[in-house]
Structure 1
């Protein structure tokens, strides 16, 4: 089992398959993806290399793989990537985080390939506000895609970044939606990155304020599975869906960390806000998953106890599209 020096075990790999994103979310890529920022970004891990990565992590006890971006659906071989992850011995669950741009047209193919879980980013349920945040008038199309995923019985989570000036006033609208829609809606605290200092200062909302509101309204926290993400999840008997809170600024947030990240170029990131990734591309390209597993095991021993977000340290993370958040 993959374990660090603080006794944390890592059942969950977040694997970025591209840095490119076609949305222009105001908290992440307000100017859109900048082509040519890095030549390396034009050379993401191939299907064969993803197979090596997933088999290495699976041999170390990882049970869940989430394909992220950028926007993973921009990969024309995404179906093959899902199949590759699903077929690795020991992997119980394959998930995707997407902006939903291609969801309605592709979700059936993703399910046939072995997709077990879906996360969709929707930062507003108001079409005009959604367009203002993302740069795209696609909300209704994305909601139809979610409806189709639910028809296919795919467990679906919806991610909404809390933004004081853009969607906080919609909180009750979100609750009304969850009352009749069987999704897990996760509110994510806006995180400081290298590119969003001023935006963070004017838009950060403490997740603890939302937690207190939920508890006062009869919501109760539910137990997390061992390969679950970092969200505290809450249920209410009168609601079809659930509410999750991801609060990276909360006390002891990192104590239950169970996930590692691999960039689209084969760099292992021990934390989203680490100083830099550990370049493992050469070993990945060799196709030797056992050698890669040993490198991963050795690297994890150097994982810090916690990020330093509260001190304003964001490491190498310029924006959340780099590693899928």
Structure 2
């Protein structure tokens, strides 16, 4: 089992397969993805080796992220390879959904267990304003289709922004009234490229949590391999709502996830100062696993977002959030 110096155990790996993205979300890549040089993203063979090593070290859940992972034509093969890794029980995917209507069947056939789709507004005009794309209707059709597949868990991620979608909060709740989908409200996070935008738009999740609790929503018990969201359920709703609140005082104490970038670097925190190169060890599984354990000893007790320190993270597409 992977464990750091503070007793936190790690069962969950977020594996980025590209940092490129086809969206221009105002909180992440308002000018679109700007390629620097010719990045060498992880190959399918390298992904297999990384998945195998982490599985041998105790990881049992891998989430495939980007950028936007569906940009890769071999995404079904990536899902299939990770799913076939001994020890991996759950393969999840986070996507903006832009290509989901076309490729969902391929992802399901490859063995996808869980699906997270980013939707920051259910108003087509606001969606376009935030993402730079008029694709909401296609994504919603694909979501309905996904609900009828073998995918076990479907979640929708929404980044809260005071000047954009905060006024839609009650609409978000109405949307999950009759849908077995978990809606996750994510606090806007400060990065190197969005400092003024963060200042103008950050919303503290606890403001909304208090409102829900007063209306009868109850806290869901968190699974060992679950992500960082605090989830709530209500007996009158088919769906659930969760909050990812990195600015809350206890956020880092339950950390159970590590990150590998699309360039093959292990990141101990989304807002850490550096990544640790895994590629030199990929041909020797024993050395790779030893190195992962060694690096984990460097993990800090917390991030420093409250002090406006976002580490080396320029934008969230670098590590998939």
TM-score (norm. length: structure 1):
0.97
Q: Does 1:19 align with 2:7?
A: no
Q: Does 1:301 align with 2:263?
A: no
Q: Does 1:321 align with 2:307?
A: no
How far residue 104 of structure 1 moved from its aligned partner, in angstroms, is 1.1
**What are the equivalent positions in structure 2 for 1:170-319 lying under 5 Å apart?**
170-284=168-282, 286=283, 288-319=284-315
How far residue 161 of structure 1 moved from its aligned partner, in angstroms, is 0.2
Give deviations 1:143-179, integer Å, cap 9, x for gaps.
1111111010421000000000000000011011010
Q: 1:94 aligns with which of 85, 88, 91?
A: 91
Instruction: Quote the Cα distance in structure 2 between the aligned partners of 1:251 and 1:312.
Output: 14
Give deviations 1:243-263, integer Å, cap 9, x for gaps.
000000001100000000000
Q: Which residue of 2 aligns with 1:165?
A: 163
Instruction: Quote the Cα distance in structure 1 between the aligned partners of 2:199 and 2:215.
Output: 29
Runs of 4 or more, structure 1, over 6 Å off, are none
Instruction: Quote the Cα distance in structure 2 between the aligned partners of 1:54 and 1:38.
Output: 27
**What are the equivalent positions in structure 2 for 1:146-161 lying under 5 Å apart?**
146-154=143-151, 155-161=153-159
Give deviations 1:75-115, integer Å, cap 9, x for gaps.
01001100111011110000000000111111111111110
Q: Secondary structure at the match of 2:177?
A: helix
Q: Which residue of 2 aligns with 1:60?
A: 57
Instruction: Quote the Cα distance in structure 2 between the aligned partners of 1:242 and 1:305.
Output: 30
Q: Which residue of 2 aligns with 1:34?
A: 34
How far residue 17 of structure 1 moved from its aligned partner, in angstroms, is 0.1
Give deviations 1:258-304, integer Å, cap 9, x for gaps.
000000010000000000111122222x3x22221111011001100
Instruction: Quote the Cα distance in structure 1 between the aligned partners of 2:106 and 2:194.
Output: 36
* Unaligned runs of at least 5 residues, structure 1: none
Q: Which residue of 2 aligns with 1:9?
A: 9
Instruction: Quote the Cα distance in structure 2 between the aligned partners of 1:14 and 1:63.
Output: 11
Instruction: Quote the Cα distance in structure 1 between the aligned partners of 2:92 and 2:199.
Output: 32
Q: 2:71 aligns with which of 71, 74, 91?
A: 74
TM-score (norm. length: structure 2):
0.99
Q: Secondary structure at the match of 1:58?
A: helix
Give deviations 1:223-246, integer Å, cap 9, x for gaps.
111110000000001111000000
Instruction: Quote the Cα distance in structure 2 between the aligned partners of 1:172 and 1:81.
Output: 37
Q: Secondary structure at the match of 1:180?
A: coil
Instruction: Quote the Cα distance in structure 1 between the aligned partners of 2:114 and 2:73.
Output: 20
Q: Secondary structure at the match of 1:70?
A: coil
Instruction: Quote the Cα distance in structure 2 between the aligned partners of 1:51 and 1:217.
Output: 46
What count of residue pairs does the alignment treat as equivalent? 320
* Unaligned runs of at least 5 residues, structure 2: none
Q: Secondary structure at the match of 1:179?
A: coil
Instruction: Quote the Cα distance in structure 1 between the aligned partners of 2:304 and 2:163.
Output: 25
How far residue 38 of structure 1 moved from its aligned partner, in angstroms, is 3.8
Q: Secondary structure at the match of 1:223?
A: coil
Instruction: Quote the Cα distance in structure 2 between the aligned partners of 1:160 and 1:62.
Output: 27
Give deviations 1:125-149, integer Å, cap 9, x for gaps.
0000000000000000001111111
Instruction: Quote the Cα distance in structure 1 between the aligned partners of 2:92 and 2:148.
Output: 17
